[in-house]
Amino acid sequence: MINIHSRNQLFRNIVKGKIAEQIARKDYENNGFQIIDTGIGSDFKVIKNNCSSKYEHVEVKQGNSRLTNRQKKTRSILKKKGIPYSIYRVSNKFLDNYISESPILSKLLSNFDLSQFTGEFVIKDPTSCPKCNLCSNGLNSIFVNFGLRNMGDDTVRVQSWCRKCRDNSRRLK
């Protein structure tokens, strides 16, 4: 069994990994690449906007984290097929500085008590509220506007309704 401190550290690492992925996505987009999600094995693949036939798979890593066995297998398969596989690494120093510049992210990572949550985290990015259609992109916006909920089946998801709609719904009762 994982203790609360370990779960909190795990959550911080998950969030830092998602933030690093957002940094990488923005970097690629700012340099003229189109991003396509791939799922398991790599975070996404990129295609240069003016060259639609050449693409490469990208795995984003934060600090000194390593490739998983699945990622190593994907890299090996793609290498045999002649498809580039890149590792985009965001240093801990850069990431910590990026987080410290955002009061919301800083508060989230320093004061968040994960003891109420156990299991697998499912974070849909972007997400939108079915009641008011508020859309949030990126972890910062999702945590601020939506929050998390424990599903009771070892899964933690983003709240479906935004905080404002949930608050309004409670007031009407």
Going across the sheet that includes 148-150, the strands are: 120-122, 155-158, 148-150
Nearest residue to 47 via CA among 70, 31, 63: 31
Report the predicted TM-score, pTM, of the whole model to 2 decimal places. 0.61
How much is the pLDDT for 2?
39
Read off the pLDDT band of 88 (50, 70, 90).
very high
Residue-wise pLDDT for 9-32, tens only, equals 666 777 788 888 889 999 999 998
Q: What domains are there in the chain, each with its CATH number?
A: 1-112 (3.40.1350.10), 117-173 (no CATH)
User: What are the φ/ψ torsions at residue 62 (nearest 5 degrees)?
Assistant: -110, 140
Q: Find the mean pLDDT for residues 121-126.
A: 69
